[in-house]
Amino acid sequence: MIPTRTLGPKGPTLSALGFGCMGMSEFYGPSDDAESRRVLEAAVEAGIQMFDTADTYGLGHNERLLAPLIAAHGARICVATKFGIAREPGQYARSINNQPDYIRRACDASRQRLGVDTIDLYYCHRRDPAVPIEALMETLAALVSEGKVRAIGLSEVSADTLRRAAAIHPVAAVQSEYSLWSREPEHGLLEACRELGTTLVAYSPLGRGFLTGALASTESLAEDDFRRRSPRFADDAMAHNQRLVDALTAFATVRDATPAQIALAWLINKHPNVMPIPGTRKISRLHENLAGAALTLNTAEIAELDTLFDPDAVAGERYPEAGWSGIERT
């Protein structure tokens, strides 16, 4: 059975395992909309309630992909989307926009693509440091008052920014990359989330697929796959990091589990306020992830995994230079 999480200080109770939809539109090679919709339907039927998208994923395609799911299951699910990253079609380079008029236009466009009057959870995808967080939150709070947004989220912000934001309006969720090999939220952000009742939504909880143990090289990846440009997947770094995944695989074998299941179980068992949102385009992987969410790890096992994936043991940055725009490093 999937554990549960409360979304934010006073939000709904949802499945602790969410679903990241990005890869169904972009960054991980070609996808098939019909198959993606079958996977999404299977996720709902299996009990997953949180579905994560953004206006930049496929430049609106990902939100439109979710619209039929919302129309069919809106009362059973919570859909989060994001604003703030502006890109040109086919380009990875981006600019960040947090201006009030832009936010309002983006919100209305997302509502139209999703087919909803109210967005369940609306994130600032990336922060523009030129716009004070207080001003950003006032714009988002106005959208809540107008009924266009139900709850507010932030992404890749520092603990200080979160505390300043929460002084203006409750922040239901902060989304950050968090996994066995990306541990930055442990440097104060998780503590701030606990203090404020904010849920930490962990994206890329399987290390962009690397922690599954199924990716030994980038040769099989599509030419436009994001990972071909990621420093952690460069040849030397990947060879180094493979040793960590080999150790994770050995750990998982003892537990009669897969590396992916252990990676998800580590997040869910270690933190009562963390919700991982792995993405997949395969029903078999969906069920594998669900089994991982139901797996129990004891304190000693969690500590062993903490030590195995000491941040200093991981080679390579998690983004190429262009990807760091709008991310507050701690």
The secondary structure element, H or E, covering residue 142 is: helix 133-145
pLDDT-based confidence at residue 330 (cuts at 50, 70, 90): low
Active-site residue flag, 319? no
Look at residue 192 and tell me whether its pLDDT is greater than 90.
yes
Residue 163 DSSP code: H
Task: Choose the weakest-confidence range: 5-14, 67-76, 316-325.
Answer: 316-325
Residues 6+ apart with CB under 8 A from 51: 18, 19, 21, 40, 43, 66, 69, 77, 78, 79, 80
Active-site residue (options: 57, 122, 123, 203)? 57
Of 27-41, 88-102, 287-301, which has the strongest mean pLDDT? 287-301
Euclidean distance between CA atoms 302 and 312, whole angstroms: 18
- Taking every pair of C-alpha atoms in the chain, what is the biggest distance, in angstroms? 54
Euclidean distance between CA atoms 131 and 185, whole angstroms: 23
Residue 62: name the closest of 127, 110, 107, 96 by CA: 110
Residue 25: name the closest of 51, 63, 69 by CA: 63
Quick one: pLDDT at residue 90?
65
Q: What are phi and psi of 289, to 5 degrees?
A: -65, -40
Quick one: pLDDT at residue 173?
98
> pLDDT, tens digit, for every residue of 112-137?
999 999 999 999 999 999 999 999 99
- For the record, the structure tokens of 215 come out as 């990716």
Quick one: pLDDT at residue 92?
65
Amino acid at 55: D
Euclidean distance between CA atoms 252 and 256, whole angstroms: 6
Euclidean distance between CA atoms 8 and 199, whole angstroms: 5
| Ramachandran quadrant class, 49 (left: phi over 0; alpha: psi -120 to 50; beta: rest) | alpha
Cα separation values, 181 from 23, 33, 46, 177, 316, Å: 20, 31, 28, 10, 10
